Chains A and B, each alone.
Chain A
Amino acid sequence: MSGDVAVLGVGMHPWGKWGRSFVEYGRAAARAALADAGLEWTDVQSVVGADTVRGGYPGYVAGATFARALGWQGARVTSVYAACASGAQAIGAARAQILAGLADVVLVVGADAAPKGFFAPAGGERPDDPDWLRFRILGATNPAYFGLYARRRMALHGDTAEDFALVKVKNSAAGAHNPYARYRKAVSAGEVAASAVVADPLRLLDICATSDGGAALVLCGMDFARARGVADPVRIRAVSTVTPTYPRTVLDLPDIATDSAVAVEPAAGSFRASIARAAYEEAGLGPEDLSLAEVYDLSTALELEWYEDIGLCGEGEGAKLLREGATALGGRVPVNASGGLASFGEAVPAQAIAQVCELTWQLRGTAGARQVPGARAGITANQGLFGHGSAVVAVR
Chain B
Amino acid sequence: MERTRTPVVSGWFTGAEAGDGFRLLGTRCSACASVFFPREDAYCRNPHCPGGGELAEVPLSPRGRVWSYTDGRYRPPAPYVSDPDAPWEPYTLVAVELEAERMVVLGQAAPGVTPAGLAVGMEVEVVAGVLDEGAGTVTTTWWFRPVEGTR
Contacts and interface: CB of A to CB of B under 8 A. Distances in A.
Chains A and B bind each other: yes
A256 interface: yes
B35 A260 contact: yes
Given A256-B105, A260-B34, A144 B72 contact: yes
B104 interface: yes
A291 to B, nearest CB: 34
A324 B32 CA distance: 47
Nearest to A124: B79
B84 interface: no
Interface string A15-37: 00000000000000000000000
B102 A246 contact: no
A251 B70 contact: no
Contact of A260 (B68, B73, B103, B119): B103
Contacts of B17: none
A262 B102 CA distance: 6
A101 interface: no
B79 A135 contact: yes
Question: Chain A CB within 10 Å — which of B37, B73, B78 has the most?
Answer: B73
Given A136-B79, A264-B48, A257 B68 contact: no
Interface in A224-283: 246-247, 249, 251, 255-264
Contact of A141 (B46, B68, B72): B72
Contacts of B68: 148-149, 151-152, 155, 251
A136 B106 contact: no
A120 interface: yes
A361 to B, nearest CB: 36
A259 B103 contact: yes
Contact of B73 (A134, A150, A152, A196): A196
Interface string B25-65: 00001001111111000000111110000000000000000
Contact of B36 (A133, A140, A152, A260): A260
Contact of B71 (A137, A200, A259): A200
Given A257-B37, A257-B38, A137 B104 contact: no
Contacts of B29: 263
A133 B46 contact: no
Contacts, number: 149
B8 interface: yes
Contact of A263 (B8, B33, B100): B33
Interface residues of A, number: 47
A200 B115 contact: yes
Given A135-B79, A200-B71, A246 B46 contact: yes
B120 interface: yes
Contacts of A199: 70-73
B82 to A, nearest CB: 8
A243 to B, nearest CB: 11
A264 B79 CA distance: 35
Interface string B117-141: 0011100000000010000000001
A128 to B, nearest CB: 11
Given A136-B80, A141-B72, A198-B74, 11 more contacts: A120-B78, A135-B78, A135-B79, A136-B8, A147-B93, A148-B69, A151-B70, A200-B69, A257-B105, A261-B103, A264-B46
Q: Which 10 A-B pairs have the closest CB atoms?
A: A147-B70, A155-B120, A120-B77, A139-B76, A261-B102, A139-B80, A152-B68, A260-B35, A263-B34, A136-B79
Interface of A: 117-118, 120-121, 123, 125, 127, 132-141, 144, 147-152, 155-156, 196-202, 246-247, 249, 251, 255-264
5 contacts: A127-B9, A147-B70, A149-B68, A200-B115, A259-B45
